[in-house]
Structure 1
Amino acid sequence: MSDKALAVRGVVFNWLGRGCAIIITFFLTPYLVSKLGDESYGLWSMVMAFTSYYAMADMGLRGAGVKYIAQFHAIQDYESVNKVYVTSMVVYSAVAAVVLVLVGIATYAFPFIVDIGDHSISNIRWVILLTGATMATRMLAQVYGAALTALQRHDVSNAIAVSMQLLQAASVVAALLLGYGLVGMAVATFAVTLSGQLLRACFSNVFLPELNFSLRYFDRDTLKMVFRFGGVNVMANAAARVLVYSGGLIVGVICGPAVVLFYSIPEAITQKTAQLGSAITQVIDPLASQLNAQKNKAAMLELMVLPPRLLAVSSLSLAIFFIVYGRLFIEYWMNEQYVAQMYPVLCVLTVARALKMSSGGVRAVLRSTANLRVIAIAAGVEIVVTLVIGVLGVWLYGPIGMAYAVLTTQLLVAVILLPVWTCTALEMPKMQYFLNIWPPSLLALLPPLAVALVIEHFWTPGRILDLAVICGLILISAGGSAFYICLPTHRRSDIITSLTAWRSVKSA
């Protein structure tokens, strides 16, 4: 199958995977809140956010694995593929051991940092220990996930992810029904994660049989290469985790665990919906590495323009839906009592996420061309601005202050600084870049905006299913306008050809 067909198929399967994750979150979150209560749910969110920072200890090796496995596989240099694979595995094993030590420290310290209310200190420590062990397990299998992504086997990767999400949701519900509480949820999460990582290991060896775990492939030059790339990924990952997880922690520490859900639930909604856009960026990274290895500069420059257009239209269309129908969505999904505090946070965060997604193609091109300094500086600015404004904002205004901190950061970094710095690094005209991205994207947003406003005028949805239909209509109109406005004629033909060829293969 051609690279174009694989890319198109990858986006489709990534959308399916992200869509299933959104549906699972949609049904599971209200159940967890009602079963646990506001304070316990907020505490669970804080523990998950707290332990998620262990993932920064991977030193960016997963991103390096995707880049270099895709790059060396494109030129059939399997010696180098195995060097990347084995070197990464050795490092991940050492990192997992370090994470377990950090877990031990966090297990002891967390109850003294956060007010855990009437919860048992012993139970909370078990929850932290198990979630930390879950993170260590994910690290040990990161290279297998990187291999599947590098090979653009997004179908298999998403099939595993969806299966594990369904199993985890069922296990969490069972744990709560049996009365095991937060500890039972943590045990279920660990067991399902372990199963998923074993499946990824098996399938990566099936699709890349050249993988050979022999210590003779451990290579110091390869170690330096992946660390050079991975070091920048650490900054980028740190910035991403600060944006995703620091908000709940800051709100919890300053305002208390019971207030966390007013930020963490809108954050979870925008994070899941933003993953629909990441279905495109996940395909761009290995594709950009392959094109760079093949010295295809024209296609690389196209990646600077087309994906940001599509990402901006898709993510801003979701922002339109939440701004127009967010109040009803929260009321029907959660409860009317949550609307007043959650809706403003949801509106601000959904726009912030959309702005960040619009820079996805730029980041992919920078990673593939090893322009790492730009990514590192942008990530550093994201971390500093988000934390400084976030702490001050939460202190003064509560959860909405954290949302405005994230929005301010993305306006500064994703919309202005990162594109300007990228154009400078790649010697591209800055004004030409902005004119290539935003006028077509904003024009393509007019149909979904019109659909949202017309429906609002003529139809008042009375249940959550009605809102799902409206959201679908908005996204369909956005997809159609993006297809005809944001893509040149030859790319529209490529997509149609790829989908037609794929359907023919499936029929045969």
Structure 2
Amino acid sequence: MSRTRRAGIAATFGYLQFGVALASGILVVPFVLSRVGAEPYGVWLGFGELVAYSAMADLGVLAVLPWLVAEADGRADRDEMRGLVATGGLAAILAAVLFAALSLALLTLAPGLTGVTPEQRATVMKPLLFLVAGTAAVYPVRVFHSVLLGLQDVTFLGVMGIAQSALNVVLLVLLLAAGQGLYALAAAATIPALMSGVASLMRLWTIAPDLLRGWRLPSARRLGAVTVQGIGAWTGGLGWRMVSASSTLILLSVAGPAAAVAFALTARLGDVLMQMSWQMPDAGLVGLAQLRGEGNRERTNEVVVSIFRLTLIGSGAVACSVLAFNPSFVALWVGPDRFAGLATNALLAAGVLSLSLGHAVFVTASTLGARVQIGAVSIVQGLVHVLAAIWLGRQFGTAGVAAAGVIGTAAVAYPLGMRYLHQVTGLGSTALWRRALGPWTARAAVLLLVGLGVGIMGWRASVWPPLVAAPVLAVLYLWAMRPLYPGLPLPQRVRPVLVHLRLLPPDAVSPFTSPPDEVVDIELADAGAHEGRPAHG
């Protein structure tokens, strides 16, 4: 199977998994609230973010392992691959122990950090301990999933991803219906992942049994070398975790469980759609790296600009949807009392745009060689985000926490990230504005204002007009962005469709396309390479 076909399959399954996650999240959350209660659910979300921080205990080893396996596979070095499996296994066992210790320590400190009552803590603590134990058990078998990623077993991994998401929903609904409460959330989060890891082990035994034999205990030097390889991804992931997994915890401590739940539910649609919008531009990163290897800076910069354009087009569509549709959506979904307000919603839409812009800066600069620097900037962004969210959350509640995402990008991610992007590409802010940001802003500004107006009308008058206006706004946005489509890194199968719809001129070509006598077989990167969405290193 060709690399392009494998990548296409991976991207397709990536979108399917996002679709299943979005659909299940919309359908299941009201049932969760009815069975668990808003207050325990808010405490669960806040304490769960502490567990999410502890889950980074592998120091990026499991994130970088697929790339190391792929490199060894490309050299047909089975001994090296076998050593990587053993090293990854040892690192995962050590990470499981460290994760459990960190989780227990943070959960012990959680009441003091959040100000919850002893009764509220007692409600969630035993299910959280179940979650910690189950997650720790998953660490060792995650190694086999990482190895299969490196072997590009994309069809199996895609099917397993869909199956895991479906099992999560089924298990959650059945256990909630049986009256298991928060234990249902813990079981649904861990048991499907454990089963997927075991299935990955069985699959690896079937297709590459030699990698599971003849293991030797890795030396401290080898373990350290692999860990160093993962540090760049880990620092970027830590920064992203501080941005994405702190808001509910902060609101729990400064405003209580009800505000934490309202914020989480109001942000849900934008969060999922934003990460879906990153799938396509991120899919061009391996192709970008290959073009850099050719040494042609001009063509490399064309791809960088195209990735920025595609990120802006996608995130702009998401922001319009959040502004126009989210107030009505949340009211119909879980009730108007759990909508965090128009100001918070507008700032969440602004956060989609700012975080997406920062993401585009980070991933392009990282791909072109500035991994360590971008990882450091990502951590600084996370620190600024947390401090701003704490201070503004105390002053303005959910709106203040939503504003922190914009502040972190404006103060840190964009200016510092652009410095390193300029170093590796020569592109500065002025050139990027002229070629990507400016043309997009000129076309998106009016539509964003229209989306804001539609959302206000839906919240203050009736929830139904936005349901009618949203598809019309989507078509207008798609049409308005036509001048930005030529040159985008789009899949070859998509391009004829866009030409037929008159969204692309017939002679439009991809920036990845080489001269006629030098066709390069690159189209998409493995969308699963950025699983978990740190994507900063």
TM-score, L = length of structure 2? 0.79
Amino acid at match of 1:386: H
Deviations 1:185-231 (A, max 9, x none): 32333222211222344445656666446434836665444333322
Instruction: Please identify, of 213-222 and 5-14, the stretch whose mean Cα deviation from structure 2 is larger.
Output: 213-222
Aligned to 2:170: 170
Matched residue type, 2:37: G
Number of positions where the alignment pairs a residue of Structure 1 with one of Structure 2: 498
Unaligned runs of 5+ in 2: 499-537
1:44-193 to 2 correspondences below 5 Å: 44-111=44-111, 113-117=113-117, 119=119, 123-151=123-151, 153-193=153-193
2:40 counterpart of 1:40:
yes
1:236 deviates by: 1.2
Code of the aligned partner of 1:351: A
Paired position in structure 1 for 2:384:
385
Q: Aligned runs of 1:256-405 on 2, under 5 Å? A: 256-280=256-280, 283-284=283-284, 301-339=301-339, 341-405=340-404
Could you tell me the TM-score, scaled by structure 1's length? 0.83
Name the SS of the counterpart of 1:28 in structure 2: helix
| C-alpha deviation, 1:52, in angstroms | 0.7
What amino acid maps onto 1:231 in structure 2? I
2:450 and 2:314 mapped to 1: Cα distance? 14
CA contact (8 A) 1:308 1:359 kept: no
More helix by percentage: 1
Letter in 1 for 2:86: V
Identity of aligned residues (%): 17
* 1:358 partner SS: helix
AA of the residue aligned to 1:43:
V
Shift of 1:55: 1.6
CA distance in 1, matches of 2:305, 2:48: 36
The verdict on how the C-alpha distance between 1:362 and 1:6 changes in structure 2, with shifts beyond 3 A counting, is farther
1:332 deviation in Å? 1.4
Q: Which residue of 2 aligns with 1:233?
A: 233
Partner in structure 1 of residue 17 of structure 2: 17
What is the match of residue 508 of structure 2? none
Secondary structure (helix, strand or coil) at the match of 1:56 reads coil
Q: Deviations over 1:272-329 (max 9, x none)?
A: 1222024236534555566667878777545423222212211211111111232222
- Asked whether 1:409 is paired with 2:408, we answer yes
Contact 1:317–1:448 under 8 Å retained in 2 = no
Question: Relative to 1, partners in 2 of residues 1:218 and 1:326: Cα closer, same or farther, differing over 3 Å?
Answer: same
- 1:168 deviates by 1.6
Which residue does 2:252 correspond to in 1?
252
Q: In 2, distance between residues paired with 1:331 and 1:448?
A: 23
SS at match of 1:25: helix
Q: CA deviation at 1:37?
A: 2.4
Q: Please say if residues 288 and 364 of structure 1, whose CA atoms lie closer than 8 Å, have aligned partners that are also in contact.
A: no
Q: CA deviation at 1:403?
A: 0.7
Q: Note the residue ranges of structure 1 that are not aligned, 5 or more in a row.
A: 500-508
The one-character-per-residue Cα deviations of 1:90-122 (angstroms, maximum 9, x if unpaired) are 111111112122333345444555455584755
- Asked if structure 2 preserves the Cα contact closer than 8 Å seen for 1:51 and 1:132, the reply is yes
Tell which deviates more after alignment, 48-57 or 412-421.
412-421
The answer on whether the counterparts of 1:84 and 1:222 sit within 8 Å (CA) in structure 2 is no
Coordinate RMSD, CA, aligned: 3.8
Q: Give the secondary-structure state (helix, strand or coil) at the position aligned to 2:245.
A: helix
Instruction: Give 1:333 deviation, angstroms.
Output: 1.5
Kept in 2: contact 1:440–1:486 (CA 8 A): no
Deviates more, 1:414-423 or 1:374-383: 414-423
1:277 alignment partner AA: S
Q: Do the aligned partners of 1:232 and 1:376 also contact (CA within 8 Å) in 2? A: yes
